[in-house]
A and B are shown apart, each in its own frame.
Chain A
């Protein structure tokens, strides 16, 4: 069947725009691209199929088949595992393509989980969900490297995060710090680094550019022990680190949607600053007695050192071309935090000033780069800041109303001016 595209090519040949030879080359080029696309689709469906079958096996196992004897249940526990291992072995030794590797790896991942689950049931092995998740993930991490499998890497990262949440965020009792998460994270990290080196621009790498910071953001709170209020500082430092990572030339040169670090870093920083712009947060901190030799302090210090070294390194390599306040928020906030132990009013005021400055900074960057998204992001920061101040200040209604009208008008004027400027340029 001749496609519309091929018809167009024929028309171009007939009209003597291109030669028959070139038309054939173009046709072949796009045909090979199509092949690639269908291969990718096949991989995705292969992984989805394995994922569903694997999860199905886990659910069937979870039924707990009482009327089977212990030995039959044990046999069933090992059966999916052996099948999974055979499939993985076949993919490795026959040097099968991506689809085989991804699908068999995903199946083996769930087969390992099903096997341990069934053994736990048969022998009523105690141990909570987190220890089960930890064993499962640890047993599956080598598959990532054996198969160079992206799907298994994603699964391991997701399950490591699940483990940390289950272990650290306990709802009824006090959680334990999920230290083993760090081990799991470090074990998956080389795969990510390898991907950054070999396929920096590919879509799968950008998926990891989002997943890695997201996992750390979800998990960091589980590392607080007794002084949860220090979490604000820990998170600001983490977001500062992310922002500075995202601004490294390697990530900064990529499309914004592929740069999870800079987006999480910026949004997270602004969000946390907005929370800490309320006075009651600082009042709580003011009364809190924090020992310096605490787990939270150690983690905060490590994060600070990492972010600060990265900033210094960026300057030393002359990667920072112009001043960007967002890069320094973590240092400024740490200073505010130290003041916060002595006084609650000063940091509250200073945080408000900082947010305002960040808003203006974003507006300026947006205007300079002619980027509507950044410009409106800045305006939004200012608008949300004013909304927040509605709740805890005794401003008159007239003044509050006027402020809103001003910001609203600002939205129109700024966008209109930029639109005009862009028009002139084009």
Chain B
């Protein structure tokens, strides 16, 4: 290969390598700045990623919806349309495809479909995972964060645990997780000091 070609190739490769993470940042910042904020009631649990470290997995209260459609399959994209109810996000409707609605939506992934053939009064439910279910934390804080909620789950002090998510054009960015309106990291610090 000629030196000129190598130079061009090197520049292209270096630019792509810089562009991809920069694009990731840009997309997230756009949603954080322009998106609408929703609070999703949640419960955290603590797993691990070999490269990206400790995070808490968030299990949301809204994770299923009644449906009469029996063709749902695991792994299908679920368009979840949101509405605000008493300050928290609720499901307006769901769909397999993008609908022509003005309400905000996020794209979830179908986990399982449960039908109740024997119970005529209940229709089937499609269960799904919302896409913003990871919250990265410092390695020594993820486990205490989970414990803070698990140990006190019956505590009246622990009224609401929610994640603050910005939504725009189907993109969602998880900004922070709050326990009783205090960011989870500060909440753990407070508990440690006590």
Contacts and interface: CB of A to CB of B under 8 A. Distances in A.
Interface of A: 58, 61-66, 74, 77-78, 81, 85, 88-89, 92-93, 108, 112-113, 115-117, 119-126, 129, 132, 135, 139, 142-143, 145-146, 173-174, 176
Nearest to B20: A139
Contacts of A108: 17
Contacts of A129: 49-51
Nearest to A111: B17
Interface of B: 3, 6-7, 9-10, 12-14, 16-18, 20-21, 24-25, 28, 49-55, 74-75, 111, 131-139, 141, 173-174, 185
Nearest to B75: A176
A126 B51 contact: no
A113 B10 CA distance: 18
Contacts of B7: 93
A63 B53 contact: yes
Nearest to B7: A93
B21 A126 contact: no
B25 A119 contact: yes
Contacts of A124: 55, 132, 134-136, 173-174
Contacts of A88: 10, 14
B133 A126 contact: yes
B10 A89 contact: yes
A64 B54 CA distance: 8
A77 B17 contact: no
A285 B90 CA distance: 48
A279 B124 CA distance: 41
A117 B136 CA distance: 11
B contacts with A: majority SS: mixed
15 contacts: A61-B52, A62-B51, A63-B138, A64-B139, A85-B18, A92-B10, A112-B17, A116-B24, A119-B25, A122-B136, A124-B132, A124-B134, A124-B174, A146-B10, A173-B74
A148 to B, nearest CB: 9
Most A C-beta atoms less than 10 A away, residue of B18, B54, B111: B18
Contacts of A78: 18, 21
A264 to B, nearest CB: 28
Contacts of A66: 137-138, 141, 185
Contacts of B173: 123-124
Given A108-B17, A116-B24, A126-B134, 8 more contacts: A66-B141, A74-B25, A93-B7, A93-B10, A112-B17, A117-B53, A142-B16, A146-B13
A78 B139 CA distance: 21
B24 A125 contact: yes
Contacts of A126: 131-134
B24 A64 contact: no
Contacts of A89: 10, 14
A115 B16 CA distance: 13
A125 B185 CA distance: 18
B24 A139 contact: no
Contact of B28 (A81, A92, A125): A125
Nearest to B142: A64
A117 B3 CA distance: 33
Which 7 residue pairs spanning A and B have beta carbons closest together? A62-B53, A123-B28, A121-B136, A124-B174, A142-B13, A66-B138, A117-B52
B53 A146 contact: no
B174 A121 contact: no
Nearest to B174: A124
B4 to A, nearest CB: 11
